[in-house]
Amino acid sequence: MTAARRALTWGMDETSRSSTTLLRTISRRRHLKVANDSGPRCFQLVRHVDVSGISGTGVVAEGVEWTDGTVALHWGGRYPTTTIWPDGIDALLTIHGHNGRTTIRWLDT
């Protein structure tokens, strides 16, 4: 067993006395599913109208769309937070787009 697998199975052995589930999961992993060839893309979330009165207008967050379509969004400010959107930009805009009042500004294009 490699050192990396030993390190990953150690915690499993302590809690369940079995590492077979974790080892099966590790051995089934595949290469990253690439949705585009251009690599990760950076963007800003730009709020044109602040419907909630909380975030203000202008650039309110920054993010990365990964090659598999997953999005990481980082909110700055006094309490910075980073969220992950596995369903991508469309899901993010469904929640934060406020019917077109907030848009994506791609930085890499």
Domain boundaries, the chain: 1-30, 41-106
Report pLDDT for 10: 42
| Stated pTM of the model | 0.65
Report pLDDT for 43: 97
* Phi, psi of 19, rounded to the nearest 5 degrees: -110, 5
> What's the pLDDT tens digit per position in 53-101?
888 899 999 999 999 999 999 998 889 999 999 999 999 999 999 899 9
Q: What number is the average pLDDT over the span 20-37?
A: 54
Instruction: Look at residue 47 and tell me whether its pLDDT is greater than 80.
Output: yes
Distance between CA 47 and CA 30 in Å, rounded?
A: 38
Instruction: Look at residue 44 and tell me whether its pLDDT is greater than 80.
Output: yes
